[in-house]
Chain A
Amino acid sequence: MVAIIDYGVGNLFSLLCSFSAIGEKAVATADPAVIKNADRIILPGVGAFSDAAKKLRESGTYELIIDEAQSGKPLLGICLGMQLLFEKSYEYGEHGGLGLIKGSVMPISEFIPEGLKIPHIGWNGLIFKKETPIFKYINNGDHVYFVHSYHACECDGATTAVTEYGGYLTASVQDKNVFGTQFHPEKSGDTGLKILKAFTEI
């Protein structure tokens, strides 16, 4: 069973549907007992980093996610949920994250030439950098759906794929059992479902 952390950020309807489409049981929850009992954890998120970090703390799941990840349970952060895995973010000030992956989150405007539109919205190709189990059913170059204005940096060791948008943006990361995708697998068609499927097989 997959526990999708429900901490009041974004709506989880599509994520729940995408697990049901691949035949995997998933629940949206903030209940510590359910999260502890789950085989895997998804940390979703949209919106602003500091607001989401605050809500995650208020939901009472912040420490629990860290404990569960450190105990070896597979954890996948999606979009802002991936950014929360890092040590800190520079979105409107400096804010601390879960610190499960080394690195920080910076505005993409500092990495791409002027004149390109921000947010980076739409379908873009994955450029694989390192082997990762969640990509076992997809191919280098496959397109996935992005919506973001910030991305993870100084995380070279953990970067498993980048995408090209005037410069290279971090698309996915992994440190042991902790995974992150900047894109939305639940909105990336068959490619996205294959990534979620692979995650459920870890």
Chain B
Amino acid sequence: MALGFTPREDNVKNLFKIAMLSTVALLSVGGVQAKEDVVWWDFLSGGDGVRMKALIEQFNTEHADTITIQPTTLEWGTPFYTKVQTSAAVGEGPDVMTYHLSRVPLGVQSGALAEISATDLAGVGLGPDTFAPANWEAGQSDGKQYAVPFDIHSIVLYYNKDKLAEAGLLGADGLPTGLDGADNFMAALEKLKAGSDIPLSVQTSGDGTPWRVFYSLFNQEDGVFLGEDGTFFPEESIPKAVKALETMASWVEGGFAPALTEYEGSVALFTSGESALHLNGVWEVPTMTDLAAKGELGFEWGAIAIPTFFDHPATWADSHGFAIPNNVGKEVTPEKKAAVLEVISWMNKNSLAWANAGHIPAYSPVRDSEEFKTMQPNATYSILADTAVFDPKSVLAGVASPVYDAVANYIAPAMNGEMSAQEAIDEMKADLQDQAE
């Protein structure tokens, strides 16, 4: 061809290697089947996806003669949980999967999760005494264990040190200062506006970050999302919710945060050096670390716990855990069960590497270890452990739940001024109440 394509040599080599490996793999199928394959589904892409792939590889190497994890990464959120649910119902789910603990009640109600017995867990050294009590119980429903915690993750405020320094927002200790309080935060954004068109990058479309930020702010005012009697936004909490949402909307309205921007776009705004601040989950820590290591970031970055906008610190938090789908009509052999348990336990015991992805390990021995306590930047937002607020325990809550849908339908539009905060909260309340009945 005259166009002069030159396939890069190493790519050709790679392709060749893949071809060779798959041939070997095919040939070896005929051999002795002593090894146990564990089909694994997760939703981890981006920076923490890379960390997880490394962990899986390490596991497979260490268990070269006994267990092989066969991993697949599916689209995060609703696509993932829809696939899990329908697959489990027809006995076609994976052997083990990552699962948000916030979604355990909904998962159990829809029959997608299999119980994991305490004896089995104790057999691989996992139990209530190796996890924080609240974390461990989040994996339960009616006293039965359905998921094993793996981490606690939350949202943080990423910052561009150079831009903050320019705007005079760095304290003597080199950490951001003057961001606490909704009004101070707004004043800081105005200062930063001089140095960037969009000083605060935050996802403003769909269901992820809008929920996490809203829930954090709402809890900083002691708002109640789901009352004891099953009421969403009990009367006295409505003004608090409106206030939280109005604060979020004011960022977009003032031109400080981008309108109608999706998750990927919000990350790109920060990594490209455009925005000075970025509200997002700790799981993007490796993205920053990797870019900085490759010298592609172009500025010095940091992360701190999200500011206290209202009365007291509070930050949304959730946990990744491991769960076994309730594969209807499919018998789990004792060998398979043992292999799956080994996977879950090994991952927890090696979760220091996972902490590298920004998360706080759920497994207490790792969390209490010296290595983790000094790990950066995790140490700078370690306060999270004390201020974390988890999603309400309800079959309507959690990732890919009616609550998340309602966020995409009401909270995100209100952030963009497509409806008023009051209207959004009223409609969200009515909608959820309707679905609860």
Q: Do A and B bind each other?
A: no
